[in-house]
Amino acid sequence: MMQFLVAAPCSGSGKTTLTCALLAALKRRGADPCAFKSGPDYIDPMFHRAVLGVESRNLDLFFSAPDTVRALYAQGAAGHGAAVCEGAMGFYDGLGGVTDTASAWHLADTLGLPVLLVVPAKGASLTLAAQINGLKTFRTPSRIVGVLLNDCTSALYKMLKPMLERETGLPVLGHLPRLPEASIESRHLGLKTAGEIAGLQQKIALLADALVLDWVQFQALTDRPAPQAQPAARASARTRIAVAQDEAFCFAYAETLEALTAAGAELVPFSPLHDAALPPELGGLYLPGGYPELYAGPLSENRSMRASVRQAVEHGLPTVAECGGFLYLGQTLEDADGTVWPMAGVLPGSGFPVGRLVRFGYAKLTARADSLLFRAGEAFPAHEFHHWDSTANGTALTAAKANGRSWACGFAKEHLYAGFPHLYWAGTPLPRRFVEAAVLDHQKEQTP
């Protein structure tokens, strides 16, 4: 089974572009690939899904213990002929930016994956060899088995390939030329989501067409025994949990949703943008993150949905709202043009743009008291990335970064968790606790 991780010296090197090209090419060759993303990123897996038509999963060694990561990888790879993992940031960039913990290298080493190093070819030649050698020797083992040149013409590839192989001892396996017609637009959190890219399938096809690769050598370097997956445990559905899924709410980890299903939830997707009200007969409500600030007007104008959500939460429906979902539950949300729109009105805060990332990165959340998801004194890993803030962020939990910075955040009650931090639920007691609360709430509703 072909298995490998795609890494790069830094962000902006073309990892996602090359990963999509590789996935599409592998699919064309009948390899039936699956995909993973190193780190907490929601957006890159959307592109993997767009290429493959199957789920892409996040693997994160800050969120999860090594055994959990190995199990998630094995379960996701089961039944496929190739497993492709896209790294995050620079190859060794980990927790706090000053350690290799939770880096792409840490993940490759934990899973025993060979690494293909994506190197932009523009603007350097022999210096590329020095850069590659530095990455190759910085940690032992580096796991790097080959190099792919990005933004590289055929003529430049012919010149660089023999020199780089001589200087680094690594095979240069192929290249991808610059394709302006296949470019993918960005915004403040990175790439735009896959659903926003016009002609995405045509762009992916162009990338696969243009990819030049020594497939024989590539397969020889990446072939590994398939990981052995344990049968996934799954409980019968005991309650219905509504999950917001539309253009405004699109940041939900696949593993979180799968963990909720395994715990006994029937997940019922709905759209706060387009539906008139919440689905019927619910035991719980999950409002994940996304881009509500881009859709503040339409969300506000859907008054019947706002009223439905407000009534459900105020009546004690077990509810989890992360980041964008948290902003939706607030009083108002200011869009990028400065217009202030009424939101669901459950929480006291009002959302407003800051113009920069706020409290960005990994943190540990510690609960101050028992609540829907947490028990007093428990700590869970979380991640924040948002350019909007709120006038009332809550005080139910304490968030702390590795550098010692800490702050109060979140609303946590018997039937509610709402806050900016995104949680990663797989391998934790959170799915079971949410489902059990939803079951109890639904039973109460059914009792005459």
Question: Looking at residue 181, what is its pLDDT?
Answer: 81
C-alpha 269/C-alpha 246 separation (Å) is 9
Identify the active-site residue in 85, 250, 323, 409: 323
Give residue-wise pLDDT tens across range 57-67: 999 999 999 99
Give Cβ neighbours of residue 264 (< 8 Å, ≥ 6 apart).
235, 236, 237, 238, 239, 435, 439
C-alpha 234/C-alpha 259 separation (Å) is 9
DSSP assignment of 21-32 equals HHHHHHHHTT--
Residue spans of beta strands (DSSP E) within 200-287: 212-213, 239-244, 265-270, 284-287
C-alpha 253/C-alpha 259 separation (Å) is 10
pTM of the model: 0.93
Question: Looking at residue 140, what is its pLDDT?
Answer: 96
Residue 323 known to be catalytic: yes
Domains of the chain and any CATH numbers: 2-222 (3.40.50.300), 239-446 (3.40.50.880)
Give the pLDDT means over successive 10-residue stretches in the chain (448 positions).
97 93 96 97 91 94 97 96 97 93 98 98 94 97 98 96 98 93 64 74 92 97 93 82 97 96 97 98 97 97 98 98 98 97 98 92 96 98 95 97 94 98 97 96 68
Question: Looking at residue 405, what is its pLDDT?
Answer: 93
Question: Looking at residue 189, what is its pLDDT?
Answer: 46
Question: Looking at residue 235, what is its pLDDT?
Answer: 73
